[in-house]
Chains A and B, each alone.
Chain A
Amino acid sequence: EVQLVESGGGLVKPGGSLRLACEGSGFAFSDAWMSWVRQAPGKGLEWIGRIKSGSNGGTADYPAPVRGRFSISRDDSERTVYLQMNSLKTEDTAIYFCATEHYYFDYWGQGALVTVSS
């Protein structure tokens, strides 16, 4: 059974940093492309980036709204993908989901809540 478990969420002040982790099991993690998607309170889903598998270069891609502030990395030995968020703004308050990606998002975690507030 595929499982994705996010951790590291919490309360952070504007301008602060936070790192989320997502541990995967039940699938070939090192072969998987991994994405992060967020959902602000009462809002829809927003893709915030992905990291390719090592065999595909292991590079990360980001949409314009978070490029330069967010970065994604992976540790295949730990079966974990990370989302480093810097210079956080109140509008970054959201539930952050990790998901496996294969032209679409096939498996999702339950999410980690990040609240940016003073």
Chain B
Amino acid sequence: QKEVEQNSGPLSVPEGAIASLNCTYSDRVSQSFFWYRQYSGKSPELIMSIYSNGDKEDGRFTAQLNKASQYVSLLIRDSQPSDSATYLCAVDTGRRALTFGSGTRLQVQP
């Protein structure tokens, strides 16, 4: 079992819809969770972090964390074509640096 799992996609949503990206992790001691966005041919950039159960909102982005279910998600409201990218979930287990999932490719159709 991979430490951090994501559906590779592509996840296709129409412009203006809500995109829901999901991530599960295997290590129960994980404490910190991050979402990075990577445009094609570019490097990853940090867009959200979440440390406590519940929701955290930042503009059109909402990160959701459920430690009991070992599940973290990213919601993108009012999706735009410029949101089309690969979204990487990253988890800190406290043992080494972040462990990244393989990413979900999001396509927002105009």
Q: Do A and B bind each other?
A: no
